[in-house]
Amino acid sequence: MDGLILIDKPQALTSHDIVLEIRKTLHIQKIGHFGTLDPLATGLLIIAIGKATKLFPFFSKEDKIYRGRIRLGFSTDTYDSLGKPISLEKQLLPDKEKILLAMEQFRAEVRQIPPPFSAKKYRGKPLYKLARGKREFQLKPCTIFIHYFELKSYEPPFLYFEVKCSSGTYIRSIAHDLGQSLGCGAHLSELTRTDVGNFRLADSFTLKKVKTLAEKGEFESFLIPLESLLPKFPKVILNETGATLTKNGSTVFPENILKVFPCEPSLSDAPEEKEMIFRLFSLEGKLLALAKRGSQKKSLCPFLVIN
């Protein structure tokens, strides 16, 4: 069994907890997730099964959309409601206009420092372990991209928001930094991930639903097969010789290629871009590998063999 499952993660469970539950349900060990959600957060978690785990680099870089709630008035050490307050509570809170103005600063390219309590590593060790041990460390800011950060409603001390951001963005840090900018302190109190690339929370399944369908043997109801993934890359159908070459990681030549979908651009008229990626398929319709252009004209060189 190979493919993706879109899971609606409940609160309190970690992303690893979800992986363990799916392993128990499907009796498969080779399972991972594409993008961690904190225990506080709910929403879309992409679970990879079997050979789909090899595709992590492509899905981990997708933009994400979140909806959530920020509590104004004080900051916490974890930057969310699970942490301890690290500032006195401010009773005087900013008005809506000041909040909108502050949120405008969180657009386009932003330099962000990860939360001290996070899985990000510092000199090989997770930050949360260093923070719990009260070890001192200084983090360098990371460059992220925020497409938009919108105020949905303001009900003091809570503001409700939606944000679309690049991979690697910590929404907890956005909440904390917004509080610092406003001068009143703030932390994240609720968070739901609604989108990862082209995948939507509306198409996801609860753990209970996956278990029920699996017990009935209706795996096709919740499993997105390998062959339908990464549709933005052209699909190349190979003959038997081409399939054998691909499985061995060898270069595939024009005489091994039966057809390319979409036909425009094809191997003949597509720009000679070295970084253009192709999906290589067998005659039986199985996804064999991902490939880039080879050094020889119109040849393809597999760089990620899947089957």
| CATH code of the domain containing 219 | 3.30.2350.10
User: Does residue 129 share a domain with residue 239?
Assistant: no
User: Does residue 91 share a domain with residue 178?
Assistant: yes
User: Does residue 169 share a domain with residue 152?
Assistant: yes
**Which domain range does residue 268 map to?**
230-305
Catalytic machinery residues: 38
CA gap 37, 44 in Å, rounded: 9
Q: Judge whether 195 and 94 are in contact, CB under 8 Å.
A: no
Closest CA to 144 of 120, 121, 110: 110
Tell me how many domains the chain contains.
Answer: 3
User: Does residue 111 share a domain with residue 156?
Assistant: yes
Q: Judge whether 295 and 275 are in contact, CB under 8 Å.
A: no
- Distances from the Cα of 102 to the Cαs of 105, 156, 161, in angstroms? 6, 16, 13
pLDDT along the chain (307 residues), means of 10: 97 95 96 92 97 93 96 96 94 96 93 74 52 58 94 98 96 96 97 97 98 96 96 95 96 94 54 74 96 89 94
User: Does residue 246 share a domain with residue 133?
Assistant: no
User: Does residue 270 share a domain with residue 167?
Assistant: no
User: Does residue 192 share a domain with residue 135?
Assistant: yes
User: Does residue 125 share a domain with residue 26?
Assistant: no
Q: Return the exposure string of 22-38: e unless at least 16 CB atoms fall within 10 Å of the residue's CB, then b.
A: beebbeeeebbbbbebb
User: Does residue 107 share a domain with residue 191?
Assistant: yes
Q: Can you give the CATH number for the domain in which 301 is found?
A: 2.30.130.10
Give the CA count within 13 Å in the CB-facing half-sphere of 164: 9
User: Does residue 43 share a domain with residue 8?
Assistant: yes
pLDDT at 50: 96
User: Does residue 244 share a domain with residue 179?
Assistant: no
